[in-house]
Amino acid sequence: MDEGKPLFVQIAEMVEDQIVDGSLAEEEKAPSTNEIASFSRINPATAAKGVNMLVEKGVLYKRRGIGMFVSPGAREQLLAERRAAFANAYVAPLIDEARKLGLTPDDVAQLISEHATPSP
Amino acid sequence: MDPVIQVRDLTKTYKDTHALDGVSFDIQRNSIYGFLGRNGAGKTTAMSILTAQNFPTSGSVRVFGEDPYENARVLSRVCFVRESQKYPDEANAKIALRTARMFFPNWDQDLADELVDEFQLPMKPVIKKLSRGQLSAVGVIIGLASRAEITFFDEPYLGLDAVARQIFYDRLLADYAEHPRTIILSSHLIDEIANLIERVIVIDRGRILMDQSTEEARGRATSIVGDREGVERFVGDREILHRESLGRTASVTFLGQLTPEERREAHAAGLDFAPVPLQQLIVRMTQRDQAADASAPAVTEGALR
């Protein structure tokens, strides 16, 4: 577990990852707070906080007496959010590191073309 | 806010030492607390008083709103598992568990049976003949199966190996999720229990050093590593917990977090930074607290004349 972000945020991101990669589908039942706590070996209150964060974001919704479900449109919402953060999270550090090694943004662009595998 | 335990200005004096010196804190219902501190810091003294095995010199203690001392009504709702638990000479694990079952109204025999299996605890041999790990297992099983509304675990798992400890943590979390109650864990293995506990109370030399949520504690300090000059310039006049250097590289731990702006600055200056894990934070804060005291002028000098 990464020490950087609060634990409950890491939990929320773990569930979001599953939605983004498709392993947790829209309208599918999300893992319960206790299941998450048990799997990640953390306090259930922390797991609950992560789940509540997703409910507040609209990524999950509650069906009374049954549990938490993935909201329709959640995947698109998360993809849009992550695309917006992509530049800060990945591109800026990439360019910074490249600069330290004496590589220009054009050099980086070239490396990207060389390394990108054509999508199937 | 629903405190099941309230401690106000608790002091316990032995001859001329204060084992506890004006300690105040609350323990909320249905929460897991970490109760941490060095050996001799006062943790066990505090827990003994809370479970009525000892009494205050001054100050007050309320458990479920009442004074726990010689109070059977309160004590049947509290389970205290301690490291050096004494059992009657001829008792075996079976008898110890049966006795606990009679004392605790919420006792769950199915859970006890499962745990005996999981810890591979032999029920027949006299307790004196059990290994250290098996002895610790007896205490831990009683603590979990009692389902007492307040359960203290005072380092009873010191004798447990890493595998057994993991069983304990997993079982504790699973049972706590299904049957919420108030649990206080005291441990030296802080990083091991960091993800289980919701709040941290640290005692050092009879006084409270920290009382906050684990989340807040995690965000409390940052360490920064890199070229010594760059690090010193970046740290500036922040409150420092610890400093180390190796050649031209320095590592400084300080209180506070970096803003996104400061993170970019640090990165640009070639400095690495990371938040400080709970155990390290507590160790550094304790060391700083003790160092501060050591350099303070001795108050009793005049009394020697």
Count of CB contacts below 8 A, A vs B? Answer: 55
Kindly state the average pLDDT of the residues A20-48. Answer: 93
CATH top-level class for A7-74?
mainly alpha
CA-based nearest distance B225→chain A, Å: 16
Cβ–Cβ gap A4/B274 under 8 Å: yes
On the question of pLDDT at A22 being above 80, the answer is yes
Give contacts of B198 with chain A, Cβ < 8 Å.
Answer: 43, 45-46
Cβ pair B277:A3 closer than 8 A: yes
Question: Is there a single domain that holds both residue B160 and residue B224?
Answer: no
Residue B227 and residue B83 share a domain: no
Assembly ipTM: 0.75
Domain membership of residue B9 (yes or no) is yes
pTM confidence score? 0.86
- Do residue B240 and residue B156 come from a single domain? no
Q: Is residue B303 one of the residues assigned to a domain?
A: no
Calculate mean pLDDT across residues B118-134. Answer: 93
B238 and B178 co-located in one domain: no
Residue B304 located in a structural domain: no
CATH number at residue B199: 3.40.50.300
Shared-domain flag, residues B208 and B226? no
CA distance A71 to chain B (A): 25
Domains contained in chain B, number:
2
The domain locations on chain A are: 7-74
Q: How far B72 CA lies from chain A's nearest CA (Å)?
A: 31
- What chain B residue is nearest to A44 in terms of C-alpha separation? B177
Contacts of B214 in chain A (CB under 8 A): 7
Provide, as residue numbers in chain A, all residues whose Cβ is less than 8 Å from the Cβ of B174: 34, 38
Name the residue range of residue B270's domain: 218-295
pLDDT classification of B175: cutoffs 50, 70, 90: very high
Report residue B162's pLDDT band, with 50, 70 and 90 as the boundaries. very high
Let me know whether B19 and B132 are in one domain.
yes
Interface test with A, best of B168, B169, B214, B223 (most A CBs within 10 A): B214
Chain B residues with CB inside 8 Å of A45's CB? 31, 198
Q: What is the CATH number of the domain that holds B246?
A: 3.30.70
Beta-carbon separation of B215 and A8 below 8 A: yes
Q: State chain A's mean pLDDT as an integer.
A: 91
Query: Does residue B198 belong to the interface with chain A, where contact is any CB pair within 8 Å?
Result: yes
User: Are residues B228 and B107 part of one domain?
Assistant: no
Q: How confident is the model at residue A119 (pLDDT cuts 50, 70, 90)?
A: low
Please indicate, yes or no, whether residues B14 and B77 belong to a single structural domain of this protein: yes
pLDDT digits (tens, 9 = 90+) for B96-114: 999 999 999 999 999 999 9
**How many Cβ atoms sit within 10 Å of the Cβ of residue A11?**
26
CB contacts of B268 in chain A (<8 Å) are 96
> What is the pLDDT of chain B when averaged over all its residues?
90
Band (B211; pLDDT cuts 50, 70, 90): very high
